[in-house]
Amino acid sequence: MDGNQVEAIFKRFKKHNPKPTTELIYKSHFELLVAVMLSAQATDVSVNKATQKLFQVADTPQGILKLGTEKLKSYIQTIGLYNSKAKHLMETCKILVEKHKGAVPQTREELEALPGVGRKTANVILNTAFGQATIAVDTHIFRVSNRIGITCGKNVLEVEKQLLENIPEKFRTDAHHWLILHGRYVCKARKPGCISCIIFDLCEYEFKIEQ
């Protein structure tokens, strides 16, 4: 796919949704970090249901630590892998308090040093909280980018690097959210909604619906 085609795709995404953002509900950088950590192998809907109650009683690292591991588990037990997530979250809160005065760090190195925070989570925080032009490649972005033809990566890191190379700079900050939302609601895994797709004529997906 050439550069003009890629630019045309993101122009349409921008026109359709000028200010895309995450569907996770949060009021602070810390709440966002918690929500993203809990969202691994879970839906945003399930995370939002859990954090709505959790953040009412503990919305800071200090609050989570005061809550304790077992009480924390009771708030997030409806989310997959809640035992390991509770453990990582407690360890992360301890580090935030001891090393960062309770604040969420703004560098990749510091974020990835937190238990339970990998490259994808760090990219989400850097992008959504701090406005950096990072792209967190999840299953939606991996599928959509390769299917459309923007990338041809065999793993998430390859796709991430190709996206950053191929997407014009003016679109990079919002590209993460546009691609996720497109994959979540239109370019679905089993039944892509090609007939209602705003970039259908620009897509290189090999399966085209007869018009």
Residue 173, judged by CB atoms within 10 A of its CB (0-12, 13-18, 19+), counts as middle
d(CA 211, CA 209): 6
End-to-end Cα separation, the chain, in angstroms = 23
**CATH number 3.40.50.1370 is the correct assignment for the domain at 3-20+135-202:** no
CA triple 189-135-206, angle to 5 deg: 35
Q: Is 174 a catalytic residue?
A: no
The one catalytic residue among 87, 101, 138, 191: 138
Q: What residue type is 108 in one-letter code?
A: R
The CATH code that applies to domain 29-129 is 1.10.340.30
The per-residue DSSP string of 7-23 comes to HHHHHHHHHH-SS---S
Same CATH fold assignment for domains 3-20+135-202 and 29-129: no
* pLDDT for the residue 211: 42
Burial grade of 53 (CB within 10 A; 0-12, 13-18, 19 or more): exposed
Domain layout of the chain by residue ranges: 3-20+135-202, 29-129
Q: State the average pLDDT for the chain.
A: 95
The answer to whether 138 is a known catalytic residue is yes
| Annotated active-site residue in 59, 120, 170, 188 | 120
pLDDT tens profile 41-50: 899 999 999 9
Tens of pLDDT, residue by residue over 96-155, are: 999 999 999 999 999 999 999 999 999 999 999 999 999 999 999 999 999 999 999 999
The pTM score is 0.92
